[in-house]
Every structure is written in structure tokens, then in C-alpha cells.
Structure 1
Amino acid sequence: MVKREAKNPNSDSFRRFIRELSELDIPEADELLSEHRSQAIALATDDGRKFNEKRLSARTAYQAGRYEDAISHYVELFRHGQIQDQDLFSFGWALSRAIQEILSTSKQSNFSDIRVGRARKYLNYYFKIGLKGPELLHTIILKHALALAKEGYLEIIPFLQLWGAQAFRPEDWQRDVLVSEEVGGGSKGKKRTLPALVESVFMRAAKEALRSKQKDHVDFVLPQLEKVAERFPDNAHLKRYQAELLHVIGRNDEALEKALAFVRSMSREYWAWEVLGDLVSEVDVKRGCYAKALLTSSKEEFIGNLRLKFAECIWREDPRRARGEVEQVIRCKQQQGYNIPKKAEELSKRSWFADAKPIEPSVSFYEKFVAPADSYLTAQIPVQLAVVDWINEEKKFFHFIVNKSLDGICLFSKYHGTPRIGDIVAVRVEPLILEGKKKTNVLTIEPSGDSAPSHLLKDFRDRVRVSNGMGFVEDGTFISPAIITAENIMDGQEVAGRAVLSYDRKKARWSFAAIEAKGVR
């Protein structure tokens, strides 16, 4: 009633409603009702009515989509100490909508200093009004900051420190899956997994920390990055940034451990080998890692720094090829219209460079150096014995089992020899999680002359019970119908053979399955 009559502040009814509202006995614990009463009573003064009009104008402007007008009204209320708790979120949402408009317009017509300046000013307003998370609005503000950071207009680490590194919602830890629609004859239904917001934010923060090399930045980012990496073990980039940050602060052993883990899972990515090369101290391994990286990528726009690192590793033994690497970088940058890297200029001014006749980069030359890198990568993984338990001749691969929790598949082309069921092989493997699924990365595999592990392979001799074409030995060993038929095994007959550890999916249990069995006469 007070708000309704506030347009006629001199009327008897307005004064009466103000008096009655003031005299109401409101429980002290009811803070919300007390606050609303104070707001209504404030309408009895000229200033109170003035600021109420500002408040109404701000809400009207927001509802009409005039977000910057709404912000102007809220800023005046804030400066005069007239902002109310229920206004704060409205103010925050107006700031968010205005920043979104600036970002959308900038993406279409390129960013300008004026628009970026307004966006940064509104982000500053958001922190001044003191809103916190976890909250949807808080998350959206962070997304705006991340968009500006990716364009180089904002540093995400100082922003994240103000925003609150613990203020993520559960939804911010979830990845989104996009399903493509059929467009122009393209594939329909193809799925693409997008990183969670937490992943994107801390990968950006890690890049900044690596660029600045400031200890306080590294100390802030590294613990958070470790939490994110635990949540998303299939993201090799998180391990990469962990390794590089650990190296920055001198924890080199830990850095190498992280690097080896992601290189084994991302061995087809040039950057993985380049990072490992940066971290190792052995000259032959470093050179081999850079050579592996150059063999892995042919995109010149990405590998300029890599070529220069390789050149520094080989110039003493082969200055002609080192000069060829440097000139390739210079030529590529000139063709693309970019500045020549300072490192390339520095190398080109050295005495060995002037005396050397350049030789163009070649695959065959790189291949001479890769062996130490390959050996270094696999040497950290212990050799385990495994048994070949089935073979797919049509698709040219075989399956092996190491134990109840570890098995894998190997292509014939990666195996030196002809695999047979029951063969003992020596393997180096690494368990991986890719897109939420458990995988086994086979690093090395070769025939072994060692005896079969008893937990994997056993000899048996006993009488068999044949039922519905399937054989069962007293100790639980299963004999498949194929073997029963091929060897003409009869019910009650004594049989002997070998059996491999096997998982029965129907009964959800482990047992042994015969790989060969013959009747004993």
C-alpha cells in the first residue's frame, strides 16, 4: 500500500500507511520482512522516492534489453549506498548481459579497445558489488572472462583469484557432447566431446603461468591443475601442463614422470615429444625426442621453434643440416608474412652457420636419432609376461592376458613372429582411460622364452563331463565345443591338455578354459 500511494506522498492515506507500517511488530529473526519494510518506509523521504524511481527505471531498462542503461541506474544506486540486496543479482545479470552483447558484437566485427574496455569495466563492477559463487551468474561471468583471455585482453589467473577457485558448480565439472546434424552431405550423428569449463579455465591458467614463470602463479595453478587432472585422466594436455609447471619450479623428477605418462598416450602428437625433449638432460635422448617430433608433424606453422631446438642439438656434428633447419624456419616465416624468430636470427649469426653449406631437412636423417628416445620412453615400464589366449586371423590381431585386471590387443604387424594360442610373450603396457573407457597401450611386445606364469596357464589331466557339446573337468576347466568335436572327446573320458585363465561373462567369474585337450588312451 505504501508503494502504491508513493506517487502522492502528501496524501493522508500515504502518511497513514507509513505510520501503520512503522508500528508493526516484526520478529527480529525475519530479516527479509524487516528489509522490505525499511525499503518501503524510505519512500517517505524525497531521496527515498528518488532512488526508488532509479530502481524501477533500472528494472524497466533490463526488461527492455537496454542493459547498459540498467547498469547506469544501478551504478548510481550503488555509489549513494542505496543498492539493496535484491538489486545486487539484478545488477549482476545486467552486467553479464551487457558483456555478452559486447563479446557477440566483437566476434562478428573484431574486438576494439573501446568495447573491450567497457567489458573489463563491467567485470570490475561485478567484483565491487561482492557477488560470490557457486552460482549460475558467477559461472557465466567466468565464461566471459575466459573469452576475453583467449583473445589476449585479460589474464585469467588474477581474475580467477578474485572469482574464487573453489566456486565452481557441479555442472562446471561436466563435459558436453555435441551430436552433429547432416549438413551438405556430411556425417550425421557424429559425437564430439567438449571440455568441461573447469578444464578450459585451468588449461588457460596453466598457459599463462608457463608464459610468466612467476612462482606465485605456478603455486596457485599447480594444485588446482592436479585436481582437474585426477577428474579427467584422459586429458593428456593437463598432464603436459603439470609436467611443464613442475619443471619451472625445479621439481624435475616429478615433471619427467608426468611427461612420460602423456607421451606414451600421445606418441603421435609432435608436441608431446617436444615437451619430453625439453625436460630430459641426456643429449642423445633430447635430440631423439626432437627428431621424433619432426617426424610426427609436417605443419610448418607449428614446428618452427622445434626445428630451432633440433638445430641447436646437431650443429656441432652436422652444421650443414643444422643450417638447413634454421633456413627452413626463416623461409616459412617470410612466406607467411611473420617476423623471423629472434632465436633463428641469433643462430644465423654464429660462425658455424656462415661456414656451412645448407642441407635440406629430411625424414631419413631424423630417423637416425629416434632410437634413444624410443628406448627412454619404454625403459621406465617394467616387462611383464602374458599369454596369447585368442587370435583373429581375419582382422590380423591377437589378444593377450597379463592378469585379471590387465589385458590387451596387438596387431600382427607390430609383432615379430607368428602368434599362436598359448604363446608366452613379454610385454610393456600402460593402462589408459580414453573418453571414459579403459584401454591398454602396448609399448613393446615380443616372444618370450620364459616359462608360463602359473596364474595364467596350467596343464591339466582328469576325466571330463560332456554336456550339450561342452566339456567340464573336475577342477573347473572348461573345454569348448570346438575342441570336443575336433578331438572326438567322449563323456567320462580322461583328457589332458593346457588351459588359460579366462573370464566367463555369463557367470561373471574367472576360471580356466582349455586351449588344447586330447583324450588319454
Structure 2
Amino acid sequence: MAIINHESNTLNHSASFTSKDVFAKRKAGDLDEAYQIGFKLVQSLPNDEWNVKALGWCLIDLVKRESQANNFEAVNVYLTQLNNLSFDPSDKIINDQIAFVNNLSNPANRELQKAKKASKDGEHQLAINTYRQVLHEQPDNQEIMLSIGWELYRLAKLQFNSENLNVFAVKKLLNDYLKLNCEKPSLLHSLVLGVADKLTKENNFSLVGFIKVWGIENLRDEDFEEYHDINTGKVYPSLAAKVIQHASKQAVEQSELDLLSKMLPLIDKVLETSEEKIWLELNKARALNLLGDFQSSFELAVKVAKQKIGDYWVWELLGDIQINLDINKAFNCYCRALSSNPEEKFIANLRLKLARLLTEKGDFSAAKYEVNSVVESRNKEGWAIPEKVNEFLSQPWFDDAEAAKNNDDLYKNFASQAEEVLFQNLPWIKANLGGAFSLPDKPNKKRRKIYLYNSANQFPTEITLPERRFPFNKFSEGTPIQFKGELDPTTNHFTAFQFEERDGSHWDVFSLVVGVVDNVNENKKLIHVIFDRDVDTVIPFSRLSQRYEVGDSISVKLSKSKTKYGIKYYSVEIYSTSEAPSLKILKPFSEAVRVSNGLGFTDTDVFIDRNLVDKFNIQDGLIVRGKAILNFNKKRSTWGWKALTIDGVD
């Protein structure tokens, strides 16, 4: 292709064209023809601003086109023409473009174009190599560093998409990125941190070591935002939440105190919005302990322990913290940890901690049992014996002491004292033991009803606990018991920590309520009793000690529970009574009645049903005496009064 042809016969009459034609042809893609017209116009009218501008834009496009084709001879010709034109200095757009295309004639820029093309074609390593050649000549060029950084990130990302992750390759890519010293904080910097976080599960990768160079202070506000998948609707933890969770755990294990100090405020920031807090709170408690804030560490560890009371490791953590506060409480916590029957191969350090305290107490027999248990377990697993074991073996008392057969009684005796440390600030909650039951779909998993005293309500709060949680089967239903625990009023979930029998009488957390029998169902052999608005229950004949008729009073201890059908009430104890029920549910009346279609209505809107109207031959205008009961009209969804018994008609 000829670079330039100014003598085109089709353009001899340039006077018939204007700059508008140049712009139009350029826009239509006829760049060469637009250039020819523009060149002629500038030759004929070199001082016309729009002619110059039209030609300038053609030359800019031509330089870009020929640069992409690596036709740098043409690039230089067009650039020479472009630089010989004069443009308004205030026209920033065209002047910036001129500056940009002038760089395209630089040999380095030719390499950059190659690198960009390689990146676009997915040849990221070739792009990196090409960029590095240019960076060697321009070592302070931040844009090139950034381009290399993006290519390194893309290569690392591809590794995670492959079937066999090459950990060494990803670690090298991360290391190469850190050497670039790219701009930070930035999107790329955060994305690279995300790659590093994915390697956390690899044993030979230290996220802590990476972050110390990456700079934990470079987390952006955006990194603390959860990720919402618009396709699935799922919500995922933020980058900061994942990284801080993993890094804080590693930093504690490696005793990285400086990093932990920097991470504490970030942990708090994540906890503000985190739904799953327990593991981050655990790491924070361990960090505070390492940093010497023992009291704060213990208070947070207690919060974690309440959620993981059955796990040995949480009691070991409490012991590790109490070592700095109260050595006796630490001893109790270690005993409580071992009373949880943990898996032997995981508790060597725990046993050796307890052995040291036993030695200080002079209980060499118990201490020797702990040390021997560690040796036996390690030999069984084929693992090395810890150096701390050798320290015990070299002590004078060790050979002379006779090892205990086991320390089970020791653990049991001090475990309860450990729980007192944990729950010392929690009050005892009075309760009565309810019945055991199992769900149809889980017949082998029995649960137990518990009725907690509720000072704010006449009805106890009904909760359920696994039957095996405590030795419930030792006691009869209604037994006075007490718990230390925490009740979530929103979900009605009760977390029970301690349990014991207490002084009191059966069903003593219940109050007696007096109700009225408003229906006796002979077929189903049960009675219906109402106590107040929305408070009623049914009682089978088999649980009654006497015969009840409509209108009789009855005294009951009621439990209240939430079911999928709404609030339900159940009678746990039933008594006969001569006490009159509340006038709120049963009232006498003596009023004139109006009868319509066989139904009666008094002046105060007591409803008399057809059966009573017929039975007592109630006529319009007569005075009727009787008792009316509170009644809910389902059709109208309103509460009113209904005649329950008729004492006379005047």
C-alpha cells in the first residue's frame, strides 16, 4: 500500500469539499479518502481551523492503525505531518491524543503493543516477558508495573481453574507481584490478596508472611463489603472477613504480635457486620491473650465457650488465659477439658500443661499418668515424642513415682469448679421438668420439655433440650430443677450450661388459673376450658378426677408453647375449685331479650343460641336470667358474649 497519494484524480476539485466531508468520511470508515480530502483542504486553506482539525484527526487515526500493523515507516511519516500542524492549546482532547500517538513511534511502545496483543490473546506469560523488556529500560514506569501485575494475577487465577493446582507456581507469581511495588491500595492489590487467601489451606504457605509485605493497612472499604451473587441470590463473606479470619489464626499460631496489634481494629470492624462471629471471636481472644490483655481475653473466651461448652479446646483456651490470672482456675479448666473425652492424639500439649501444674501441687502420681499417656499415644501414632516430655522424664521424682491408673476422678472433681468460673455471673433459672418425646421423623432422638419460670408472665416458658444433655431420666415430671443458661427471646432457643435439682414442689413455677368449662364432648371424651381471651385448652376425661358440666369452674396449671399452628396451652395439673372465675370470662345477666329467626339477643348483646331459645321457650320481650361466657365469633373475628346457662325466664 502506498503511504500517501496526494495526486488522486478524484480529488482535483477540492474546492467542492469542506471539513464536514472529511469528518463524515472518517466516521464512515473511509479513512484514507478522508485524509486525502483533508490534506488538499489544508494545502488550499492552511489557516482554516476546522480544516486543520479535520486533517489532524485523520492523521491520529492513521498513526494508530499503522502502529497496530507494525508499519512504523508509515507511522513516522504521518507523525511528521501531524506535528507540523498547529492546534489550539486549549483543545485538551486533541492535544492529549497527539501526545499519545507520538509515543507510538517509540520502539518501547512497539513492544508494549505486542504485550497488549499477547494479553488479549491469552498469552499472559509472553505479555509479562515483553513488558519486562520495556521495564528494564524504564524501571520507574508505574503503568508498566501495573500491566505486569495484572498479567501475574491472571496467570494465578488460571492456576486455580486448572485440575491440578501448582502451589509453587502460584507462590512464585505472588512473590513476583510483591517485587513490583505497584500502586496500593488498589483493586489489583486486593485481588492479589484474594489469591493469596485461597492458598491458606496449603500447609507450606504463610498468609501472615505474605500480608506483612502486602500491608494489612492497604485493605479498602470495598474489601469489607459482602459479595452478593445476583444470579443465585447467595451472599458470601467479604474479602476482608476471609483474610482476617485466616490471617489472625495463623498470626496467633506464629505469635506475630506486631501484626496482631494491627489486626485487632480490623477484627472488630468485621465483627460489626459478621453473622458467624464465633471463630473470629476465638481468634481475637487468643490474640488478646498473647498481647497481655488477659481479662479482656478471658471475657471474650467465655462468650465463645458458652457456644462450644462440650468441646475440650475451649476449656484448654480458658486454662491458658487463667494461667496468667489464677493458676487454680487454670487447673480446673484443664481438668474440665480432659473430662470432655477428647481424641487422644490431639491432646498431648493439654496433658503436659496439666502435668506441670500437678507437679507444682506435689501430685506426682497423677502427673506421671499424664506424661505416660502422652508417650503411649505418640508411640501408637508413630509420632515424635515432644521435647517437654523429656523434661519430665529427667526430673528426680519421675522414676520414684507410681503412675495413677487414671485421673478420671480428678477431672470430675475439678470440672464443676471450672464451670463455676465460666458461669459465675449467670443467675440460676427456676424450672420444672416436663415430659420426654420424639418427633415422627426422628424417633431415636428423644427430647425433653422444660418449663422455665417467667417473672413477666403467669405462664412459664416452654423449651426443649436433648434428653441426653443432662440426666433428666433420674427425675419425675414436674420435679423442681434449675438451670444456668441463656434464652434467646426471638427464637425461644435456650442454651443450657448447668443443671441441678433444687428445693421446691412439683410444678411450682406454674400459677393456678381458674377457667370455665364451656363445652363437654361426650363422643371425644374431653372438655374445653376457657381462661381468657386467646387462652383455652382441652382436657381428656382420663385426666379428670371428677365429672364436669358446662359452666363449672376448674383450676389448672397451664403451660404455653409455640407450635406451627400458633400458641397452644396444655394443662400440667388439674384441681377442682369453688373459686368463681373472673368476670372477664363469665358474667351473670338478667335482661330483656329480642328473638329473631330463632336466635336471641339481649340489650347488652349477649347471644343466646337456638338450642337454649327452644329449650327454655324464650319469647321476644321476656326477661332472661343466666350466665354468659366470653366467646369468639369466627365469622366476624370479634369477641363477644354468649349465654352459657339459663337460670330462668320471666
* CA pair 317-161 structure 1, distance change in 2 beyond 3 A: same
Return the index of the structure with the highest Cα Rg. Answer: 2
1:14 to 73, 78, 88: 78
Hey, what does 1:190 align to over in structure 2? Answer: none
Q: Distance in 2 between matches of 1:504 and 1:479?
A: 15
Hey, what does 2:498 align to over in structure 1? Answer: 444
Hey, what does 2:192 align to over in structure 1? Answer: 141
1:459 aligns with 2:459: no
Q: Distance in 2 between matches of 1:12 and 1:108?
A: 47
Hey, what does 2:582 align to over in structure 1? Answer: none
Query: What one-letter code is carried by the residue in structure 1 that aligns with 2:101?
Result: A
Q: Secondary structure at the match of 1:124?
A: helix
Q: Which moved more, 1:210-219 or 1:15-24?
A: 15-24
Q: Distance in 1 between matches of 2:217 and 2:297?
A: 29
Hey, what does 1:276 align to over in structure 2? Answer: 318
1:498 aligns with 2:557: yes
- Aligned-residue offset at 1:75: 3.7
1:311 aligns with 2:363: no
Q: Percent identity, aligned pairs only? A: 20
Q: Secondary structure at the match of 2:196?
A: helix
Hey, what does 2:53 align to over in structure 1? Answer: none
Hey, what does 2:389 align to over in structure 1? Answer: 344
1:3 aligns with 2:3: no
Q: Distance in 2 between matches of 1:361 and 1:200?
A: 42
Q: Which moved more, 1:314-323 or 1:228-237?
A: 228-237
Hey, what does 1:400 align to over in structure 2? Answer: 451
Q: Secondary structure at the match of 1:408?
A: strand
* CA pair 398-425 structure 1, distance change in 2 beyond 3 A: same
- Aligned-residue offset at 1:84: 7.9
Q: Distance in 1 between matches of 2:390 and 2:369?
A: 14
Q: Distance in 2 between matches of 1:337 and 1:489?
A: 75
> Which has the higher relative contact order, 1 or 2, with Cα contacts under 8 A spaced 6 or more apart?
1
Q: Distance in 1 between matches of 2:529 and 2:124?
A: 77
1:450-474 CA distance string (max 9 Å, x none): 59999x7433235455599985646
Q: Distance in 2 between matches of 1:351 and 1:106?
A: 57
Hey, what does 2:173 align to over in structure 1? Answer: 119
Q: Secondary structure at the match of 1:480?
A: strand
1:68-87 CA distance string (max 9 Å, x none): 322233344456279686x7
Query: What one-letter code is carried by the residue in structure 1 that aligns with 2:66?
Result: E
Hey, what does 1:476 align to over in structure 2? Answer: 533
Hey, what does 2:398 align to over in structure 1? Answer: 353
* CA pair 328-22 structure 1, distance change in 2 beyond 3 A: farther
Q: Distance in 2 between matches of 1:203 and 1:402?
A: 40
Query: What one-letter code is carried by the residue in structure 1 that aligns with 2:449?
Result: F
Query: What one-letter code is carried by the residue in structure 1 that aligns with 2:557?
Result: R
1:237 aligns with 2:298: no
1:120-142 CA distance string (max 9 Å, x none): 4323146x221534x4x544311
Q: Secondary structure at the match of 2:532?
A: coil
1:18-58 CA distance string (max 9 Å, x none): 35997378765x7xx87555322322x4x2xx233222222
Which structure 1 residue ranges, 5 or more long, are not aligned?
180-192
The ranges of structure 1 where at least 4 consecutive aligned residues each deviate by more than 6 angstroms after the TM superposition are 24-27, 102-107, 193-196, 451-454, 467-470, 510-513
Residues 165-244 of structure 1: matches in 2 within 5 Å?
Answer: 166-168=221-223, 170-171=225-226, 197-211=239-253, 213=255, 215-232=257-274, 234-244=276-286
1:285 aligns with 2:329: yes
Q: Distance in 1 between matches of 2:228 and 2:487?
A: 24
Q: Distance in 1 between matches of 2:151 and 2:342?
A: 48
1:378 aligns with 2:417: no
Given that residues 51 and 77 in structure 1 are in contact (C-alpha distance below 8 angstroms), is that contact kept between their aligned partners in structure 2?
A: yes
Q: Distance in 2 between matches of 1:205 and 1:410?
A: 37
Q: Secondary structure at the match of 1:250?
A: coil
Residues 227-266 of structure 1: matches in 2 within 5 Å?
Answer: 227-232=269-274, 234-266=276-308
- TM-score for both structures, normalised by structure 1: 0.75
Q: Distance in 2 between matches of 1:17 and 1:511?
A: 92
* CA pair 198-401 structure 1, distance change in 2 beyond 3 A: farther
Hey, what does 1:42 align to over in structure 2? Answer: 103
* CA pair 381-358 structure 1, distance change in 2 beyond 3 A: same
* CA pair 336-451 structure 1, distance change in 2 beyond 3 A: closer
- Aligned-residue offset at 1:275: 0.8
Hey, what does 1:428 align to over in structure 2? Answer: 484
Hey, what does 1:132 align to over in structure 2? Answer: 185
Q: Distance in 1 between matches of 2:555 and 2:159?
A: 79
- Aligned-residue offset at 1:97: 2.5
Hey, what does 1:185 align to over in structure 2? Answer: none
Aligned length: 485
Hey, what does 1:96 align to over in structure 2? Answer: 153
Hey, what does 1:188 align to over in structure 2? Answer: none
- Aligned-residue offset at 1:428: 1.0
Given that residues 520 and 549 in structure 2 are in contact (C-alpha distance below 8 angstroms), is that contact kept between their aligned partners in structure 1?
A: no
Structure with the higher fraction of residues in helix conformation: 1
1:107-153 CA distance string (max 9 Å, x none): 76774xxx577334323146x221534x4x54431132234555344
Q: Distance in 2 between matches of 1:18 and 1:467?
A: 106
Q: Distance in 2 between matches of 1:110 and 1:298?
A: 34
Given that residues 396 and 411 in structure 1 are in contact (C-alpha distance below 8 angstroms), is that contact kept between their aligned partners in structure 2?
A: yes
- Aligned-residue offset at 1:246: 1.8
Q: Distance in 2 between matches of 1:373 and 1:464?
A: 52
Q: Distance in 2 between matches of 1:428 and 1:206?
A: 32
* CA pair 294-92 structure 1, distance change in 2 beyond 3 A: same
- Aligned-residue offset at 1:165: 6.2
1:409-429 CA distance string (max 9 Å, x none): 2344522753536x6542211
* CA pair 232-453 structure 1, distance change in 2 beyond 3 A: farther
Query: What one-letter code is carried by the residue in structure 2 that aligns with 1:118?
Result: K
1:185-231 CA distance string (max 9 Å, x none): xxxxxxxx997654442233223443454543232122222333454
Q: Distance in 2 between matches of 1:512 and 1:464?
A: 15
